[in-house]
Amino acid sequence: MSESVPDRSVWERVATILRRSVPRQQFETWFRGMALVALTPDRAELTVPNNFLREWILRKYFGVLRRALREVSEGDPEVEIRVGEEDAPPVEGAVAEEPAPRAPSPRPAAPVAYGESDVILNAQYTFDNFIPGPSNNFPYAAALAVADSPGKSYNPLFLHGSVGLGKTHLLQGICHRLMERRPDMRILYLSCETFTNHFVTAVANGELDGFRFRYRHVDVLLIDDIHFLASRERTQEEFFHTFNTLYNANKQIILSSDSNPAEIPTIEERLVSRFKWGVVAKIDQPVYETRVAIIARKARVHGATFPDEVVKFLAENIRSNIRELEGAVNKVAGMAHIYQRAIDIDLAREALRDLLPPPSSRVSVDGIVRTVADHFGVPVKDLMGKRRSKSIAHPRQICMFLARRLTSHSLEEIGGYFGGRDHTTVMYAYDKIRREAEDSTDLADTLEKLKLKVTS
């Protein structure tokens, strides 16, 4: 093989072998800016945009690179990696689909998109597939604004809420939108645990310069579960300086947590202050109407038809988070497909028996009435009787709500326990308490406490 610059196909063959040997994210980060200048059975010469990349590849990836070159050259070439000169002509083929860009400054020549990240983007986690509602309208709008104008609107953006409510969906929605509209941007998206592990490894191996270069030369930094910084003093110190560097350079920072910044334990006040510099947006539990929309969307994905009574059943019984709701839809649709059964209320109950409230053999209407009477300080006989004063009517409606949720009694049977009331009264009480609980966290908490007492 001559000493002339190899044609594009030679590097493509090397790149193909490398892609089989290292994760895609690592290839994109460390090899995309590399060029093959010369290759013979005895010698291989490559260039990279800067000395940091050269040193990192020599320490971490030299073995896998040499094996790839051996396979292509059919020899055992001595490998030389040098920093490309500013006036050197660009060599195509760093990625098979497009030419390798040149580096105008001492930073990686290609986007750091998901480099060294533990996150794999979910193709379904886009803005188009996100269902906004009263519980998440503002976080959704803020995420859209950040994706459209990174570094200009809402910096930093801090999203918080309980597990399974859509924080990760919004973070990945931002990534998808940026990749589509701003493919030139350097994006780094990972978990706080990975950030911490990278820092600890860098300290142990004396590689802090490389760590800082990787995290402080990006255009958008997204970190999931930032609350894991709690109690990690040195990592907090490092993240503080990383935050300042990016913020002062007008680079976008997006963080998620299960808690409001002020409620994260043992985290430095100066970090809490910086988390509040931009916008702090809370995602709440989805309301009933949003849950119905999620069920309908998920059912369409499966190509399944969910009758209204099944949709209502799922929306009423799976309230905690979106992840469980989607899992419930998947399970019902999956059982219908496997067993070739129609989707109806019986199938839904069977599929979700592990998620649904305990059966009536464990929960009785009498037990519910006694528990509610004790909580509100009213006589049991009044709850079971005809009195309609507000102090009695509201606890009685809560009894009917819990009886409908926690037992398998029919509406008529439940009404019979409460002074012979008909099924429409029970249905009215159920809907009323459900709607009030959607708007009142105090009532929702009360219902959860009563349910725990009744089922314990």
* DSSP secondary structure, 50-110, as one string: SHHHHHHHHHHTHHHHHHHHHHHHTS-PEEEEEEPPTTSPP-S-SBTTBPPPP-SSSS-SS
pLDDT > 70 fraction of the chain, expressed in percent and rounded:
87
Same domain, 84 and 151: no
CA separation for the pair 45, 63 (Å, rounded): 15
Same domain, 11 and 35: yes
pLDDT tens digits for range 270-309: 999 999 999 999 998 887 788 888 888 888 877 888 888 8
Strand, coil or helix: what is 258?
coil
Indicate if the pLDDT at residue 257 is higher than 60.
Answer: yes
Q: Which two tokens stand for residue 399?
A: 């009894």
- pTM higher than 0.75: no
Same domain, 267 and 331: no
Question: Structural domain of residue 266, as residue ranges?
Answer: 137-282
Please indicate, yes or no, if residue 97 is contained in any of the structural domains.
yes
- Phi/psi-derived region of residue 330, left when phi > 0, alpha when psi is between -120 and 50, beta in every other case: alpha
Same domain, 345 and 448: no
Residue 323: give its domain's CATH number. Answer: 1.10.8.60
Per-residue pLDDT at 405: 85
Same domain, 142 and 276: yes
- Where a domain ends, among 236, 267, 282? 282
CA separation for the pair 95, 259 (Å, rounded): 41
- Residue 83 contacts residue 2 (beta carbons within 8 Å): no
Please indicate, yes or no, if residue 28 is contained in any of the structural domains.
yes
pLDDT tens digits for range 220-252: 999 999 998 988 899 999 999 999 999 999 999
Per-residue pLDDT at 113: 41
Indicate if the pLDDT at residue 110 is higher than 70.
Answer: no
What's the domain count of the chain?
4
CA separation for the pair 243, 223 (Å, rounded): 11
- Residue 66 contacts residue 41 (beta carbons within 8 Å): no
- Residue 385 contacts residue 421 (beta carbons within 8 Å): no
> What contacts 243, CB < 8 A, 6 or more positions away?
156, 253, 271, 274
CA separation for the pair 63, 72 (Å, rounded): 15
Per-residue pLDDT at 97: 33
Classify residue 448 by its DSSP letter.
H
Same domain, 186 and 170: yes
Same domain, 260 and 294: no
CA separation for the pair 417, 415 (Å, rounded): 5
Per-residue pLDDT at 246: 94
Same domain, 392 and 428: yes
Q: Which region among 156-160, 162-166, 195-199 has the lowest average model confidence (pLDDT)?
A: 162-166
Name the strand (E) or helix (H) holding 456. none
CA separation for the pair 103, 88 (Å, rounded): 11
Half-sphere CA count of 267, side-chain side, radius 13 A: 23
Q: What is the mean pLDDT of the chain?
A: 82
CA separation for the pair 41, 18 (Å, rounded): 18
Q: Which two tokens stand for residue 196?
A: 């911490």
Same domain, 321 and 376: no
Same domain, 313 and 275: no
Please indicate, yes or no, if residue 123 is contained in any of the structural domains.
no
- Where a domain ends, among 234, 260, 282? 282
Q: Which region among 47-56, 108-117, 410-419 has the lowest average model confidence (pLDDT)?
A: 108-117
Confidence of residue 1 (pLDDT cuts 50, 70, 90): very low
Name the strand (E) or helix (H) holding 221. strand 220-224
- Residue 221 contacts residue 246 (beta carbons within 8 Å): yes
Please indicate, yes or no, if residue 75 is contained in any of the structural domains.
yes
- Where a domain ends, among 239, 265, 282? 282
Query: Residue 133 phi/psi, 5° resolution?
Result: -165, -175
363/377: higher pLDDT:
377
Query: Residue 256 phi/psi, 5° resolution?
Result: -130, 155
Task: State mean pLDDT over 411-427.
Answer: 84
Task: State mean pLDDT over 134-161.
Answer: 91
Residue 370: give its domain's CATH number. Answer: 1.10.1750.10
- Residue 328 contacts residue 335 (beta carbons within 8 Å): no
CA separation for the pair 330, 263 (Å, rounded): 35
Q: How many CB atoms lie within 10 A of CB 393?
A: 13
Indicate if the pLDDT at residue 211 is higher than 80.
Answer: yes
CA separation for the pair 301, 307 (Å, rounded): 15
CA separation for the pair 257, 156 (Å, rounded): 13
The runs of H, that is alpha helices, within 279-321 are 288-301, 308-317
Task: State mean pLDDT over 22-41.
Answer: 79
Task: State mean pLDDT over 331-360.
Answer: 79
Same domain, 237 and 321: no
Name the strand (E) or helix (H) holding 439. helix 423-439
Please name which of 117, 209, 129, 211 lies closest in space to residue 166, comparing C-alpha atoms: 129
Same domain, 93 and 194: no
